[in-house]
Chains A and B, each alone.
Chain A
Amino acid sequence: MSDEYASGSSTTGAAADSEAEADADATAVDSEGDTPETDGGRQAYTVRLELIDEPGELLRALAPISENGGNLLSIHHERGNITPRGHIPVEVDLECVPARFDDVVDGLREAGINVIQAGPERYGEELTVVLVGHLVETDLSDSLSRIEGDAHAGVLDLSLNAPDGTDAVSSARLRLAVDTGRRETVLEGLRSLADEKGLGLIEPLSGGEI
């Protein structure tokens, strides 16, 4: 946050005065109408961009986000940092319906903005759990794909410990990436999966400074 753009852009009102955003909101509503969302629809994402150090460049980069249905949450304009190519890294937090996120990224690329990272960083939190029971007999790969199928979680890694063979009780430690603010939703999903398959779920302790 070190220039006039950043200080003015760190709120949701970033491009509020541009016509583009007004249009974009209308687009987003249309889109939600096409594909009904049951949970409010929008998710938070982070994209990292690389900008040329020229006046107006930041505003130019934000336009494709609004135009494709994204709502700006915050902008971190790292003017003091220079990328190896001599450009300025910018981190943009935005929210949009999941179906529109690819459009946002495509829009940025079409506008000639260099997108360093998009997508994987939408996960704001990590969650580690241990599953216990007949993991293999209850189809571990099915369990994993169902967790992956949760719109708010991705499996980062898995460690399986089956000292007595795969047909005995074993344990698996799962490290999940979870959308910011969706931890409890993901845990609910894990609980019902564990219940259904007769597995034990050892959750991390939540809340407080632990």
Chain B
Amino acid sequence: MRLAILGAGAVGGSVAELAGEYGHEVVALANSSRAAVADDEELDVESALERAASDEPLGSSDPDRVFETDYDVLVEATPTTLGEAEPGFSHVERALADDRHVVLANKGPVAERYEDVRALERESAGSVRFEAAVGGAIPVLSTIEDCTPQAVTAVRGVLNGTANFILTRMAAEGLEYEHVLAEAQDLGVAEADPTFDVDGTDAALKCVILANVLADGGFSLEDADVTGIQDVPPSALELAAEDGRTIRLVGEATREGVRVGPRLVPENGAMAVSGTRNIVQIQTRHAGDLYSSGRGAGGPETATAVLSDVGRL
């Protein structure tokens, strides 16, 4: 497949780097200001990414030129935005209007405007996939697809590595939230502004996407009941531990709704993953619970989910 990649950050850059290994070709790579586009000659991904890393223009073309290339799949890996989910949504719209496929790493369009995306998809010869938007490298959506969404009754998961890292460290060391957050920022686990991770928004967006898949639409972030981990004191983790439990930020998606909040889980149970690992529990009607655990974030990890989607097209 010929890939046009929008977004040259950790995920978009990794997709560009790994595409060849998966048998695909990159014909365009763009960030918000410039694009590198393969016209007659082959696009040199490595040097384009080097230029971007040293704050030079990624390429010489206008980002809009990406849509004029001869691509098969648009990989949308620009940052997630809420509300109208722009510019991600417009990118999806444009690619579908041209009957091309879209693979999303960007959560915005399928969390905030799922029905709109599906309506555009119905009018198009292209299709939309978004495995990378939920749980990074963990095959969550393809598992639900394999079980068929109707046979899945609920999906629960520890879906944010930053929040999980903080709770794990707080429980292990008896430290205060603020202290562990600062440590996580020093280690690069938490971003300078960790709000989306610790207040539950990131996990909620993933669960909203899951609920949309289960119910075929109907949910956006404002429908989710979300509580973060900022107010969990070490004393609560101690009490939980005395009882053989611990606390994890767990998101839950069903056809009825989305809930995210700190929950008590058995200390040695499957859901008590530690550090930045994620886990997803898929509760099925006929086959009990299925679990997948792994790296829920990271450039190359998430890129593998994007490339798996490309392979499924």
Known: A205-B265, A207-B154. Contact between A169 and B233, CB under 8 A? yes
Q: Per-residue CB proximity of A166-210 to B under 8 Å, as 1/0?
A: 000111110100000000000000000000000010111101111
Is the CB of A162 closer than 8 A to any CB of chain B?
A: yes
Q: Per-residue CB proximity of B235-247 to A under 8 Å, as 1/0?
A: 1101110110101
> Interface size bucket, B side?
20 to 34
Q: B232 and A128: CB pair below 8 A?
A: no
Q: B156 and A205: CB pair below 8 A?
A: yes
CA distance A170 to B238 in the complex (A): 11
Is the CB of B281 closer than 8 A to any CB of chain A?
A: yes
CA distance A173 to B288 in the complex (A): 30
Distance in angstroms from A128 CB to nearest chain B CB is 6
CA distance A129 to B247 in the complex (A): 11
Is the CB of B172 closer than 8 A to any CB of chain A?
A: no
**For residue B232, which residues in chain A have a CB less than 8 angstroms away from its CB?**
132, 200, 202
**For residue A149, which residues in chain B have a CB less than 8 angstroms away from its CB?**
none
**For residue A210, which residues in chain B have a CB less than 8 angstroms away from its CB?**
265-266, 269-271, 281
Q: A203 and B242: CB pair below 8 A?
A: no
CA distance A132 to B238 in the complex (A): 12
Q: A129 and B264: CB pair below 8 A?
A: yes
**For residue A171, which residues in chain B have a CB less than 8 angstroms away from its CB?**
233, 235-236, 238-239
**For residue A207, which residues in chain B have a CB less than 8 angstroms away from its CB?**
154, 156, 252, 283
Interface residue ranges of B262-313 to A (CB < 8 Å): 262-266, 269-271, 281, 283, 288-289
Q: B238 and A161: CB pair below 8 A?
A: yes
CA distance A94 to B272 in the complex (A): 38
**For residue B240, which residues in chain A have a CB less than 8 angstroms away from its CB?**
130, 173, 202
Is the CB of A38 closer than 8 A to any CB of chain B?
A: no
Distance in angstroms from A187 CB to nearest chain B CB is 11
Q: A161 and B271: CB pair below 8 A?
A: no
**For residue B263, which residues in chain A have a CB less than 8 angstroms away from its CB?**
202-205
Is the CB of B250 closer than 8 A to any CB of chain A?
A: yes
CA distance A3 to B307 in the complex (A): 64
Q: Chain A interface secondary structure, helix, strand, loop or mixed?
A: strand
Distance in angstroms from A208 CB to nearest chain B CB is 5
Give the interface centre of A130, A161, A163, A203 by most chain B CB atoms within 10 Å: A130
Q: B264 and A202: CB pair below 8 A?
A: yes
CA distance A180 to B242 in the complex (A): 26
**For residue B154, which residues in chain A have a CB less than 8 angstroms away from its CB?**
207-208
Is the CB of A159 closer than 8 A to any CB of chain B?
A: yes
Q: B262 and A202: CB pair below 8 A?
A: yes
Distance in angstroms from A131 CB to nearest chain B CB is 9
Known: A161-B236, A173-B239. Contact between A200 and B231, CB under 8 A? yes
Q: B289 and A159: CB pair below 8 A?
A: no
Is the CB of B261 closer than 8 A to any CB of chain A?
A: yes
Interface residue ranges of A116-147 to B (CB < 8 Å): 128-130, 132-133
Distance in angstroms from B237 CB to nearest chain A CB is 8
CA distance A28 to B290 in the complex (A): 45
Known: A208-B283, A210-B271. Contact between A170 and B156, CB under 8 A? no
**For residue A129, which residues in chain B have a CB less than 8 angstroms away from its CB?**
264
Is the CB of B227 closer than 8 A to any CB of chain A?
A: yes
Q: B264 and A170: CB pair below 8 A?
A: no
Distance in angstroms from A192 CB to nearest chain B CB is 13
A-B pairs, top 6 by smallest CB distance, nearest first, are A171-B236, A161-B235, A173-B239, A171-B235, A205-B263, A204-B264
A-B contact pairs, 15 of them (CB 8 A): A159-B239, A159-B242, A161-B236, A163-B235, A171-B238, A175-B243, A200-B262, A202-B262, A202-B264, A203-B264, A204-B264, A204-B265, A205-B265, A207-B252, A208-B156
A-contacting residues of B (Cβ < 8 Å)? 154, 156, 227, 231-236, 238-240, 242-243, 245, 247-248, 250, 252, 261-266, 269-271, 281, 283, 288-289
Starting from the known contacts A171-B239, A209-B288, 10 additional A-B residue pairs (CB-CB under 8 Å) come to A128-B243, A130-B236, A161-B235, A170-B233, A202-B240, A202-B262, A202-B264, A207-B283, A208-B283, A209-B289
